[in-house]
């Protein structure tokens, strides 16, 4: 059990029958009245965020999440296939259980599979990936307005906004949390 007064960013709790990660918290002591903790919670399964206020003495169960390193093999449209490199056991995970976490992950890359009470509920891709651009419009000389971007498709099929000087065949670095272009690899 963890009390609301001990909240820190990144802690995972069970609240109202769901798993939440604390993304932001603030201890508030108003001039009049009791202190409280204002927090922003992210639902681990749906990705939605909720703002809640707790008394510092309120307790809730802390969720213990196992993170297993697995190698992504392939997908067949509805199922994603992973392999444990230690036991060579293969796992199939439904696309609906993962969401769009795999949009920047290539085959044979390592990912973290999130497990709670024996149930897989999510995937953490690597923080940064290097992917090749398969399709983008050519940049024209003189189209150099500050911060100008154009859409590009990478080898996994995801769409990314890139600067005008990036062309088809370039390998770029992408932040998987935000989907932002970070530079050429």
Domain limits, the chain = 2-60, 66-124, 128-184
Higher model confidence: residue 147 or residue 5?
5
Fold equal for 66-124 and 128-184 = yes
Residue 98 phi, psi dihedral angles, 5° rounding = -95, -35
Q: pLDDT at position 173, please? A: 92
Q: Does 72 have pLDDT greater than 80?
A: yes
Q: How far is CA 8 from CA 5, 18, 58, 74, 114, in A?
A: 9, 18, 15, 36, 20
Q: pLDDT at position 71, please? A: 92
- β-partners of residue 19 are 14
Q: Which 3 state secondary structure label does DSSP give 100?
A: coil
Q: What is the mean pLDDT of residues 153-164?
A: 88
Tell me what the pLDDT averaged over the chain comes to: 85
Rounded to whole angstroms, how far apart are CA atoms 22 and 160? 28
- The CB density around residue 181, as the number of other CB atoms within 10 Å, is 18
Q: Identify the DSSP state of 77.
A: S
pLDDT tens-digit readout, 107-151? 889 998 888 887 777 788 888 999 999 998 886 655 555 677 888
Q: What is the mean pLDDT of residues 148-173?
A: 88
Q: What is the mean pLDDT of residues 55-83?
A: 88
Q: Identify the DSSP state of 95.
A: H
Q: What is the mean pLDDT of residues 149-177?
A: 88
Q: pLDDT at position 31, please? A: 84
The CATH architecture assigned to 2-60 reads Roll (2.30)
Q: 66-124: CATH homologous superfamily?
A: Nucleic acid-binding proteins (2.40.50.140)
Contact residues for 10 (Cβ-Cβ < 8 A; gap 6+): 21, 22
The number of residues in the chain equals 185
Distance of CA 183 to the CA centre of its chain: 20
Q: How far is CA 162 from CA 6, 40, 60, 126, 171, in A?
A: 41, 31, 44, 20, 12
For the domain spanning 128-184, the CATH number is 2.40.50.140
């Amino acid at each position: 059990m963890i009390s609301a007064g001990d909240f820190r960013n990144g802690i995972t709790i069970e609240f109202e029958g769901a798993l939440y990660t604390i993304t932001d918290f603030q201890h508030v002591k108003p001039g009049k009245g009791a202190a409280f903790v204002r927090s922003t919670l992210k639902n681990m399964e749906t990705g939605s965020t909720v703002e809640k206020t707790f008394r510092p003495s309120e307790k809730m169960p802390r969720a213990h999440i196992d993170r297993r390193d697995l190698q992504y093999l392939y997908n067949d449209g509805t199922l994603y296939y992973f392999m444990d490199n230690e036991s060579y056991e293969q796992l199939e995970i439904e696309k609906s259980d993962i969401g769009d976490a795999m949009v920047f992950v290539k085959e044979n890359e390592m990912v973290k599979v999130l497990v709670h009470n024996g149930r897989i509920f999510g995937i953490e891709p690597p923080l940064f990936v290097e992917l090749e651009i398969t399709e983008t419009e050519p940049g024209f000389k003189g189209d150099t307005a500050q911060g100008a971007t154009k859409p590009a498709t990478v080898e996994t099929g995801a769409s990314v906004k890139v600067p005008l000087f990036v062309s088809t065949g370039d390998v770029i670095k992408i932040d998987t949390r935000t989907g932002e272009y970070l530079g050429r690899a």
